[in-house]
Amino acid sequence: MGARLVYAKVIDRELFFMKEQGRIHPSMENHVVLRDEPGAAGAFLVLRGWGDDRGTFTEQWSLKGPGGQTLYDSLPRELHLPSKTHIERLEDEIADLDLDGSGGDYHVIFTLDEEEVARVRFEVKPPNNGA
């Protein structure tokens, strides 16, 4: 069957640690805050957990803009799930990525062993409007 994405969140780093106290929960919004309008995003996190299988997999993800263009590709990462009950928690931080914030849907697309298995939508918010 393959591993399953148990959770995935894309959130501004400062909001995650200040507003959410570093805790992941189902109602946490997925959004990135720009430092300038338009311009570079502040540092943000791509948080996720994989589970429901055992074995070794190659994970990779990419950020896609509203037009479907690739904005960022992660490096491939080997992950090992020792049991079906284990959740492998992963975190990546991205900083200074140019986003226009002109609206539309941004997505993170997750792949395991080069097959798309999930996508997560997130918003890009202008400065001083991210909270």
Tell which wins on pLDDT, 129 or 100.
100
Residue 130 covered by a domain:
no
Q: Are the beta carbons of 77 and 58 closer than 8 angstroms? A: yes
pTM listed for this prediction: 0.90
Residue 130 pLDDT greater than 50, yes or no: no
Residue 51 covered by a domain:
yes
Beta-bridge partners for 51: 4
- For the stretch 65-74, contacts whose Cβ atoms lie closer than 8 Å and that sit 24 or more positions apart, written own/partner, are 65/99, 65/100, 65/104, 65/106, 66/102, 66/103, 66/104, 66/105, 66/106, 67/104, 71/97, 71/98, 71/99, 71/106, 72/97, 74/46
CATH number, domain containing residue 20: 2.60.40.10
Residue 47 pLDDT greater than 90, yes or no: yes
Residue 40 covered by a domain:
yes
Average predicted confidence (pLDDT) for the chain: 90
What single DSSP character describes residue 13? H
Residue 14 covered by a domain:
yes
Q: What is the pLDDT of residues 89-120, one digit of tens each?
A: 999 999 888 887 667 789 999 999 999 999 99
Residue 27 covered by a domain:
yes
* Domain count of the fold of the chain: 1
Residue 81 covered by a domain:
yes
Distance of CA 12 to the CA centre of its chain: 10
Residue 42 covered by a domain:
yes
Residue range of the domain that includes 26: 4-125
Percent of the chain surpassing pLDDT 90: 66
pLDDT at residue 43, rounded to an integer = 93
Largest CA distance in the chain: 45
What values do phi and psi take at 69, rounded to 5? -70, 145
Residue 131 covered by a domain:
no
